[in-house]
Amino acid sequence: MKKIFFLILAIFIVSCSGNRSDTKRTPVLEVEGKFLYQDEIDQIIPATASIIDSADIAERYIKKWVTDVLIYENAKRNINKLNDIERLVDEYRKSLIIHEYEQALIKQRLTDKVSEDELKRFYEIYKSRLISPENLIKGILLVVPKNAPQTDRVREWVRLSNTKSLENIEKYSLKNAISFDFFMNDWTPFTEILKKAPFRIEDSGAFIRTTNFAETSDSTKSYFLRITSALPSGQVEPYELAKDKISYILLNKKKSDFIIQFENDIYKDAVEEGTINYFKK
């Protein structure tokens, strides 16, 4: 009987949706002086939902809404610390409003860019603290079928990795390669390469320091790796890798400095203008 009631109620709600103006709200039910309105239920029912689905959604929503109201009202009658809760709510509301206001001021008055000079100056001063947590390399990784043609030439092209060899690899890759990763201009975590190629390595740091070219294979593929630059973990990060991190640090500092100065100015202006009224003890 309860399911039938909710089904009838949901059918009524769905059939009536769109027939009410935005300024006129139709109550569906009342609990403890709180009203649930038809437009609130309309909003949670997808336009493509069937009548049965709509009924199920409406039933669950109504049950949850009624349960929340009953628990909330019962809690208010049985909790002795309502004043403390209200104070915390007021403090949170005040903090939230202040935060939103200050963030709006930051967007209006601060640029979200840091100059190259600022980035480089920070890097030179603090680079000893900008340590790479992982092994990084630059280079190329070529993966071909195990029976691919001209593998001897491919091996030599990868080993050389000069302009002409790279052109040959690109042309060859279009027809024969499974994948060709070119990262000679970008520091790449060595762990990302190991996800793509089954090299058996005990000491990754030692491997990238001493290896320029490596080759391995499995049952179906051959893997050719050329390392053109290596940066073992624990070393200072290169500037091009650290600059995004530095930019984030400097932007946050600018925002923090702006807020501190803004709050100080607000207080200073209030003192100078006599806005603050002190009462004598």
pTM score of the predicted model? 0.66
Q: What mean pLDDT is predicted for residues 114-130? A: 96
At residue 162 the predicted structure's pLDDT band, cuts being 50, 70 and 90, is very high
- How confident is the model at residue 116, as a pLDDT? 95
Q: What mean pLDDT is predicted for residues 186-213? A: 96
99 has pLDDT over 60: yes
- Whole-angstrom distance, CA of residue 278 vs CA of residue 263: 20
Using the structure block, give the residue that is written with the tokens 């979200």: 112
At residue 21 the predicted structure's pLDDT band, cuts being 50, 70 and 90, is very low
20 has pLDDT over 50: no
At residue 22 the predicted structure's pLDDT band, cuts being 50, 70 and 90, is very low
Average pLDDT for the chain: 90
Using the structure block, give the residue that is written with the tokens 């600018």: 254
- Whole-angstrom distance, CA of residue 135 vs CA of residue 192: 10
At residue 19 the predicted structure's pLDDT band, cuts being 50, 70 and 90, is very low
Question: Which class for 221: exposed (0-12), middle (13-18), buried (19 or more C-beta within 10 A)?
Answer: middle
Q: What mean pLDDT is predicted for residues 226-235? A: 96
**What's the residue count for the chain?**
281
Phi/psi class of residue 108: alpha, beta or left (left: φ > 0; alpha: ψ in -120 to 50)?
alpha
CA-CA distances (angstroms) from residue 51 to 1, 4, 6, 204, 225? 18, 13, 12, 61, 60
At residue 23 the predicted structure's pLDDT band, cuts being 50, 70 and 90, is low
Digit-coded pLDDT (tens) for 51-96:
889 999 999 999 999 999 999 999 888 888 888 889 999 999 999 9
131 has pLDDT over 70: yes
Angle at 91 between CA 89 and CA 94, to 5 degrees: 110
Digit-coded pLDDT (tens) for 132-146:
999 999 999 999 999
Q: What mean pLDDT is predicted for residues 262-278? A: 91
- How confident is the model at residue 16, as a pLDDT? 45
- Whole-angstrom distance, CA of residue 104 vs CA of residue 262: 13
